Structure 1
């Protein structure tokens, strides 16, 4: 009997097959438990090699125990040594694959049930129990989540998913560090663009508002401009932001307009032109593009930077009863880019010594939480509001 035929005979034997499958399930369960506990405790995915090692260790422990029992029962007389060797090798091979699968399943379960993505109800109680023994900090999001003014709202499905969940963080974090990690978690795990959150000294959430990041060309188009898709043959090195001229080919080429190149896909080009010139472009014609020397576009560069930043442009008006009336801009811990007095006109990049008056409109580059505080100090004073 050849080795190959003996191997087939062993694998076709039902008891041997069940033994090998059982070893694979044992390795899978061991790696799953290890990954689950490791992910919950450290909020990191363990290396797959460690999970496989633990799974194979469980298989080895079981096989060694089984062999020792057989030796005791049979007084050291073991039959079918070749069969046992084949089953052992097959068990280790299947156990390796099972441990790798258990590593993936365990990590997915930990992400779902232990607040790596957020947990509710029973899992929240378990997290609070862990917090009571001093291992982690549990932060529960409020059921009512607000929208950030000036940003696109987040869809209701995401709000419902976030409402009331508990998130677990390592202990010994300051309030500022906890706030930073909480904002990062919401952005990474739920694709939230902007987060406005306030925490008290105990790390509990007192205010939460979220917003999505503006997408598409619209938010970056200056007033009076329009984006149009045309068929054209841009230069090989042309890229977004290049200034181009659109020419209609023919016996006598005709200059149609100047434009800014935004995107190219094969022979379809998206350009930004004056709104009046957009009507002159036809989807049936194929244009020739000539790239022009670069020129500074402050508005375009500003819009591009602002689009990817955490800050946004905010405008607030100083109320006549605000505590800021008669104070200097230098007292504001905010980046003010312009001030528009009630009398008219706009002062760009005002001096820090500029004195604020009632009716002044302040244009500032701020984060959502800073904008909310700025609106609070420029609005009616608390004393005046109470009297009214």
Structure 2
């Protein structure tokens, strides 16, 4: 702080002017940080960093003023230990901190309006067309034709129409894998699609896109001629989904039917029963369940787990000229649960060294994009050489 000799009013006026100048400096530095952050990330910055930058600028300015004051007047009011200097520094930091904090809101609002005025598009955050023009984003254009994923329920035609020819923008410096993951997340979250199979080229263009959905509930895992009924019941302590139970009515005490437990929530149990026995159960009676000493149905348990997972199952047949013929099971990028050989029947959970042969059918569990690549590899490559030769002959 530099306080020149003079009247008290002169010194107070000079100190007030210096406080205003320091407050303006802190606000400007804080606002610049906010604008830069909003421009680069399109998000609101936390208050701490801009305030810290503003106070840092005030601190540098105060140190400079103190050093100059000691050169001009080594003792007296300009001494860093004098009460006047200490009070001035405290007041400067308080005023500068409040100004820098207020500049965060002002700068963020101004930056948001400024960058939004250039026009935004539907995408990752509020990225404007100006940003896209200077090459700070990757534009991903969805194709007009969107396929269905085999093994999943089809997505509604209205949803496909909304996705067709849509453009998404993402930040640069993403790998192809990261870009695919972000695109899947956006499509799932914005359009309620259950599963997305997409392949991107190195430049970010979409080479293949398919979507799929699955119906909610337990209906798809129920066997034919079977219905799911929720009843009030007192299940056994160890009862769980998949257990086969006898359903007994307490008054009069008699057996109603045999069912399979599909879910338990307190005293409400969801049972899978024969459709013909459904009228025998009512919502007012509290039944007693007796667990039968039988093994759980592993096929239904597997179907339930597979239905809830991201993966699905497919059966792929190896053609005679496929590059997979002669390859071991361990070389496949999928989980192989069985192989149906042309002459030796089905081998469940084959060893990784098991060699595939032409005519084998591979039962594989994986995500849709990996199953699609497996199906493509299992198909014999097209013979292009004769066509090329014929074209060359025609040219001659």
Q: Does structure 1 conserve the Cα–Cα contact (< 8 Å) formed by 2:247 and 2:290?
A: no
Using the size of structure 1 for normalisation, the TM-score is 0.62
Distance 1:381-1:266 versus aligned 2 partners, 3 A rule:
same
1:306-345 Cα offsets, whole Å, 9 max, x none, are 2222211111111223222233222222210111123363
Residue 142 of structure 1 corresponds to which residue in structure 2?
143
Q: Does structure 2 conserve the Cα–Cα contact (< 8 Å) formed by 1:321 and 1:384?
A: no
Q: Aligned equivalents of 2:166 and 2:264: distance in 1?
A: 41
Residue 376 of structure 2 corresponds to which residue in structure 1?
376
Q: Does structure 1 conserve the Cα–Cα contact (< 8 Å) formed by 2:242 and 2:296?
A: no
Residue 380 (structure 1) shift: 2.0
Q: Aligned equivalents of 1:250 and 1:385: distance in 2?
A: 80
Residue 176 (structure 1) shift: 1.2
Using the size of structure 2 for normalisation, the TM-score is 0.61
Q: Aligned equivalents of 2:202 and 2:134: distance in 1?
A: 20
Q: Aligned equivalents of 1:386 and 1:151: distance in 2?
A: 38
1:50-70 Cα offsets, whole Å, 9 max, x none, are 9xxxxxxxxxxxxxxxxxxxx
* 1:159-238 equivalent positions in 2, closer than 5 A: 159-221=160-222, 223=223, 226-229=226-229, 231-235=231-235
Q: Does structure 2 conserve the Cα–Cα contact (< 8 Å) formed by 1:242 and 1:291?
A: no
Distance 1:286-1:378 versus aligned 2 partners, 3 A rule:
same
Residue 290 of structure 1 corresponds to which residue in structure 2?
289
Q: Aligned equivalents of 1:382 and 1:341: distance in 2?
A: 24
Which of the residues 112, 115, 128 maps onto 2:122? 115
Aligned residue for 2:190, secondary structure, equals helix
Q: Aligned equivalents of 1:150 and 1:241: distance in 2?
A: 24
Residue 346 of structure 1 corresponds to which residue in structure 2?
346
Residue 277 (structure 1) shift: 6.9
Aligned residue for 2:383, secondary structure, equals helix
Q: Aligned equivalents of 2:146 and 2:174: distance in 1?
A: 24
Residue 358 of structure 2 corresponds to which residue in structure 1?
358
Q: Aligned equivalents of 1:190 and 1:293: distance in 2?
A: 45
Distance 1:303-1:131 versus aligned 2 partners, 3 A rule:
same
Q: Does structure 2 conserve the Cα–Cα contact (< 8 Å) formed by 1:225 and 1:272?
A: no
Q: Aligned equivalents of 1:384 and 1:346: distance in 2?
A: 35
Q: Aligned equivalents of 1:206 and 1:175: distance in 2?
A: 12
Residue 165 (structure 1) shift: 1.3
Q: Aligned equivalents of 2:149 and 2:195: distance in 1?
A: 8
Q: Does structure 2 conserve the Cα–Cα contact (< 8 Å) formed by 1:248 and 1:254?
A: yes
- Answer with 1 or 2: which has the greater Rg: 2
1:84-131 Cα offsets, whole Å, 9 max, x none, are xxxxxxxxxxxxxxx9xx99x99xx99x95323799xxx9xx63x422
257-266 or 158-167, which moves further after superposition?
257-266
1:172-230 Cα offsets, whole Å, 9 max, x none, are 11111111111111111111111111111111111111111342212323x46723325
Q: Aligned equivalents of 2:255 and 2:236: distance in 1?
A: 22
Q: Aligned equivalents of 2:143 and 2:246: distance in 1?
A: 54
Residue 137 (structure 1) shift: 1.5
Aligned residue for 1:351, secondary structure, equals coil
Residue 41 of structure 2 corresponds to which residue in structure 1?
42
Aligned residue for 1:253, secondary structure, equals strand
Q: Aligned equivalents of 1:308 and 1:230: distance in 2?
A: 21
Q: Aligned equivalents of 2:125 and 2:213: distance in 1?
A: 19
Q: Aligned equivalents of 2:276 and 2:204: distance in 1?
A: 55
Q: Does structure 2 conserve the Cα–Cα contact (< 8 Å) formed by 1:139 and 1:166?
A: yes
Residue 327 of structure 2 corresponds to which residue in structure 1?
327
Q: Aligned equivalents of 1:374 and 1:151: distance in 2?
A: 17
Residue 383 (structure 1) shift: 2.9
348-357 or 288-297, which moves further after superposition?
288-297
Q: Aligned equivalents of 1:330 and 1:118: distance in 2?
A: 42
Residue 3 of structure 1 corresponds to which residue in structure 2?
none
Q: Aligned equivalents of 1:355 and 1:224: distance in 2?
A: 37
Residue 44 (structure 1) shift: 4.9
Give me the CA root mean square deviation.
Answer: 4.0
Q: Which runs of 5+ in 2 are unaligned?
A: 1-33, 49-105, 388-396
Q: Aligned equivalents of 2:384 and 2:359: distance in 1?
A: 17
Residue 245 (structure 1) shift: 2.5
Equivalent pairs counted in the alignment come to 291
